Structure 1
Amino acid sequence: MEVITLDGSLGEGGGQILRTALSFSMLTKKPFRIVNIRKNRTEPGLKAQHLAAVDFLVKNSSSKAIGAEIGSSELSFFPGEWKGILRNSDIGTAGSITLFLQSVLLPLMFSKKCSFSVTGGTDVAWSVPASTFSEAVLPFFRKYAKIDFRLIKRGYYPKGGGVVELSILPKILLSDFSSFEEFLEEARKLGRIKLSERGLLVAIRGESHASADLQGKKVAERQASAAALELKDAGCHVEISSSYSPSESTGSGISVYALYSQPGSSEFDVNQPIILASDVLGERGKPAERVGFQASQKLISELSSGCACDSLLADQLIPLLALFGGEIRAERISEHLKSNVAVAEAFLGKHFEIDEKEGIVRAL
Structure 2
Amino acid sequence: MITIDGSEGEGGGQMVRNSCALSLVTGQPFRITNIRAKRSKPGLMRQHVTAVEAAAAISGSECSGLTVGSCDLTFRPGKAQAGEYHFAVGTAGSTGLVLQTVLMPLLLAEGRSRLVLEGGTHNMLAPPFDFIERCFLPIVNRMGPRVSARLVRHGFYPRGGGRIEVEIEPAPLVPVACVERGAFQGVSAQATYCGLPGEIPLRMLERARKDLPDWEEESFAMRKLPEDQGPGVILMLEADYDHVTEIVSGFGQLGVPAEKLAKTAAARMLGFLDCEAFAGPYLADQLILPFVLAGSGSFTTVKPSQHLRTAIDIAQRFTGKSIKLIQQFDGSHLVSVE
Give the alignment's TM-score, normalised by structure 1. 0.83
**Given the alignment of the two structures, is residue 251 of structure 1 paired with residue 232 of structure 2, yes or no?**
yes
**Given the alignment of the two structures, is residue 227 of structure 1 paired with residue 208 of structure 2, yes or no?**
yes
CA distance in 2, matches of 1:227, 1:17: 34
Structure 1 pair 326/222, CA: closer, same or farther in 2 (3 Å)? same
CA distance in 1, matches of 2:284, 2:60: 32
Number of the residue aligned with 2:178: 194
Q: For the Cα contact (< 8 Å) 1:19–1:103, is it kept in 2?
A: yes
Structure 1 pair 33/192, CA: closer, same or farther in 2 (3 Å)? same
Number of the residue aligned with 1:340: 311
Q: Per-residue CA shift, 1:186-235, capped at 9, x if unaligned?
A: x4xx331413x334322113542112x23x62644554465356445259
CA distance in 2, matches of 1:63, 1:15: 19
CA distance in 2, matches of 1:236, 1:6: 50
Q: Structure 2: which 5+ residue stretches go unaligned?
A: none
Shift of 1:108: 1.1
Number of the residue aligned with 1:275: 245
Shift of 1:239: 6.3
Q: Structure 1: which 5+ residue stretches go unaligned?
A: 173-186, 261-267
Q: For the Cα contact (< 8 Å) 1:24–1:347, is it kept in 2?
A: yes
Number of the residue aligned with 1:169: 169
Q: For the Cα contact (< 8 Å) 2:121–2:156, is it kept in 1?
A: yes
Q: Secondary structure at the match of 2:137?
A: helix
**Identity, % of aligned pairs?**
30
CA distance in 2, matches of 1:299, 1:114: 35
**Given the alignment of the two structures, is residue 352 of structure 1 paired with residue 336 of structure 2, yes or no?**
no
Amino acid in the other structure paired with 1:192? V
Structure 1 pair 131/218, CA: closer, same or farther in 2 (3 Å)? farther
Q: Secondary structure at the match of 1:88?
A: strand
CA distance in 1, matches of 2:235, 2:268: 12
Number of the residue aligned with 2:129: 130
Structure 1 pair 237/194, CA: closer, same or farther in 2 (3 Å)? farther
Structure 1 pair 285/358, CA: closer, same or farther in 2 (3 Å)? closer
Shift of 1:7: 1.6
Number of the residue aligned with 1:205: 188
Shift of 1:82: 3.4
Aligned residues: 332
Question: Among 43, 46, 54, which residue is 1:45 paired with?
Answer: 43
Residue range with higher mean Cα deviation, 104-113 or 280-289: 280-289
Amino acid in the other structure paired with 1:255? M
CA distance in 1, matches of 2:105, 2:190: 29
**Given the alignment of the two structures, is residue 90 of structure 1 paired with residue 88 of structure 2, yes or no?**
yes
Residue range with higher mean Cα deviation, 197-206 or 22-31: 197-206
Amino acid in the other structure paired with 2:125? W
Amino acid in the other structure paired with 1:49? Q
Question: Among 9, 12, 29, which residue is 1:11 paired with?
Answer: 9
Number of the residue aligned with 1:264: none
Shift of 1:243: 4.0
Number of the residue aligned with 1:326: 297
Shift of 1:355: 2.5
CA distance in 2, matches of 1:349, 1:276: 30
Q: For the Cα contact (< 8 Å) 1:98–1:130, is it kept in 2?
A: yes
Q: Per-residue CA shift, 1:74-132, capped at 9, x if unaligned?
A: 11111112346333111112111112221111111121211121111111111111222
Q: Per-residue CA shift, 1:340-364, capped at 9, x if unaligned?
A: 1111111110321122575332211
CA distance in 1, matches of 2:8, 2:321: 17
Number of the residue aligned with 1:263: none
CA distance in 2, matches of 1:246, 1:192: 43
CA distance in 2, matches of 1:82, 1:311: 29
Q: Secondary structure at the match of 2:266?
A: helix
Q: For the Cα contact (< 8 Å) 2:277–2:332, is it kept in 1?
A: no
Residue range with higher mean Cα deviation, 197-206 or 124-133: 197-206
Number of the residue aligned with 2:287: 317
Q: For the Cα contact (< 8 Å) 1:51–1:68, is it kept in 2?
A: yes
